[in-house]
Amino acid sequence: MQRKYLILLLLVGFVFMAGFLVYYKNIHSVAPQNQQVFHNSYFSQSDFFDQAYKSAKPAGEHKGDIKAILVNHHLLAGNFIAESFNYIATAAPVTVVLISPNHFSAGQGNFIMSAGVWHTPYGDLAPDSELVKKLSDAGLASVEEPPFSQEHGISGIVPFIKKSLPNAKVVPIIVNDRVSPEQAEKIAHSIYSLLPNNSLLVLSFDFSHYLTGRAADFHDIKSLSAIENFDLDSTTRLDSDSRPGLIFSLELLKESGSENFSLLENSNSSNLTHQDILETTSYITGYFAPGPPKNISSDTILAFPPIENSTTTISGFDRYGKSFSVEYLERLFTGQDVTMATVISESTNQFNQILKRFGFTDISSASQSTRAGNLKVSSLVLPTSASLIQKQTAAHAEIDKGFDVVVENGKYNLPIEIYKNKVIIYGQGIGLTDESLKNGSISVAYGIALAGNSLKLVILPFAAEAVKYKLLINKQNDTILSELAEASSPALSSQIKQGIINISYLK
């Protein structure tokens, strides 16, 4: 019996070692042609992709050569992907460098390539083996095949490449989240020098995740602005599935002098399905052509309700604890230039550091002012006994000082006022407190964006449900917006009920 178990253990060990050697070989070498690796596209039938092209808008007029396209890989919006590919469709031989996040942090390298052939519904898509070898030999990217077996950022896009670019070869590159901006810039510079003249970049990225459609729309304001302006500093705070991958891609385009971005589509899964859902994915698609970036930036600030410095709240920010109460809000805290909040009770350095790790940038236990570019917001902490008249007097004085928006502490259903074409928010609710977590009290975060002479205010109600804070959707959301509309001027009613206030011609 012991001998039988010994033989079994030896067999298991042999299988494990054989598997490891295959994996090691895939990681560190380009497979010889007689041992070519094959991967499969996300769907093996053409029906989905044919329908995507049928539903896609045709390519419009564009100036100059297109050097890259930005596409989503969330296949709900397959028509957006097909529309982008319509702009670069050609029968000419090209090398497509397909860049995607490394969604599962798979493999060993920071920049990982596949040297395999991709089976697609439109035929096999071959690799550009020469370019793969150059990048591998230069130590710029490793060849590792296992990570590509589940990487939808690549497998979902290769059929579009084969259909629109039938004579293309491909070099898929996935980028690990641990890559620093400095590494991304350095590798991009080195890789660009080795790209063939007939190369095209296809950037496969989704943007906002795990938020409501309205919150995703707010975050996309900054994402689109960063892309259009090649604002790489802002890129490190974007709500994207790969900030390093996006920085790497934009650096490659800077090297080529193709910084002129034309937007094709900007939407999200909530808008496309006409459903108010808690966890959306958003899309920004378009193409890059030679020329300078646009000089139209957007400045964004999230004004978050008060946060109580308590044992309960602190435990709520522990990602690995049972009381992770901000799990469904976490993504909201980044995605804008500034995230501001007032801390109730004493603001300790330890608590401030916890908030900063989650993306809060401006934290205070008293009245504060903050600025993002040309956008200036004042947050006033007044005595709880202050009347609405007293609050109004204080807020008007702040607007007269030059602030674009004033936010005061108070009940969430106090009025929203337009004063001298600027915005005053008289209350946001009690925020993240022991009481709100226990009783599910309503609070409201406000996304504020300034682009040129246009100010946008995005209203984001939330409450705790089963000890988890969540943005409100459907009837709960509608009820809160209706309460705010009734408390405010009739002139604002329809906009508030939609959750967005737009003001033009700021003075």
pLDDT, tens only, 30-54: 444 457 899 999 999 999 999 999 9
Q: What is the pLDDT of residue 95?
A: 98
The DSSP string of 102-153 is -TT--SS-SEEE--SEEEETTEEE-B-HHHHHHHHHTTSSEE-SGGGGS-HH
Check whether 28 has a pLDDT greater than 70. no
> At which residue do the structure tokens 């930036």 appear?
297
Q: What is the pLDDT of residue 371?
A: 97
| pLDDT band (50, 70, 90) for residue 58 | very high
Check whether 27 has a pLDDT greater than 80. no
Which of these ranges, 7-21, 333-347, 359-373, has the smallest mean pLDDT? 7-21
Q: What is the pLDDT of residue 32?
A: 45
Residues 6+ apart with CB under 8 A from 436: 429, 430, 443, 463, 464
Higher-pLDDT residue of 7 and 135 is 135
**Residues 411 and 429 sit within 8 Å (Cβ to Cβ):** yes
Check whether 11 has a pLDDT greater than 70. no
Q: What's the CATH architecture for 36-289?
A: 3-Layer(aba) Sandwich (3.40)
Residues of the chain with CATH 3.40.830.10: 36-289
Partners of 432 in the beta sheet?
307
**Judging by DSSP bridges, how do beta strands 117-120 and 298-303 pair with one another?**
unpaired
**Whole-angstrom Cα distance, residue 37 to residue 33?**
9
Q: What is the pLDDT of residue 102?
A: 98
| pLDDT, average across residues 257-283 | 97
Higher-pLDDT residue of 347 and 94 is 94
Check whether 2 has a pLDDT greater than 60. no
pLDDT > 90: what percent of the chain?
Answer: 88
Residue 444 in 3-state DSSP? strand
Mean pLDDT in the chain? 92
Check whether 461 has a pLDDT greater than 80. yes
Instruction: For residue 114, count CB atoms less than 10 angstroms from its CB and return exposed for 0-12, middle for 13-18, buried for 19 or more.
Output: buried
Where does 298-504 sit in CATH, by number? 3.60.21.10
**Residues 460 and 435 sit within 8 Å (Cβ to Cβ):** no
Residues of the chain with CATH 3.60.21.10: 298-504
Instruction: Name the DSSP class of 68.
Output: E
| pLDDT band (50, 70, 90) for residue 64 | confident
Partners of 478 in the beta sheet?
none
Q: Which two tokens stand for residue 329?
A: 């809000």
Query: What's the first-to-final CA gap in the chain, in angstroms?
Result: 89
pLDDT tens column, 271-298: 999 999 999 999 999 999 999 998 888 9
Which of these ranges, 49-63, 147-161, 184-198, 478-492, has the smallest mean pLDDT? 49-63
Q: What is the pLDDT of residue 23?
A: 38
pLDDT > 70: what percent of the chain?
Answer: 93
**Whole-angstrom Cα distance, residue 53 to residue 273?**
19
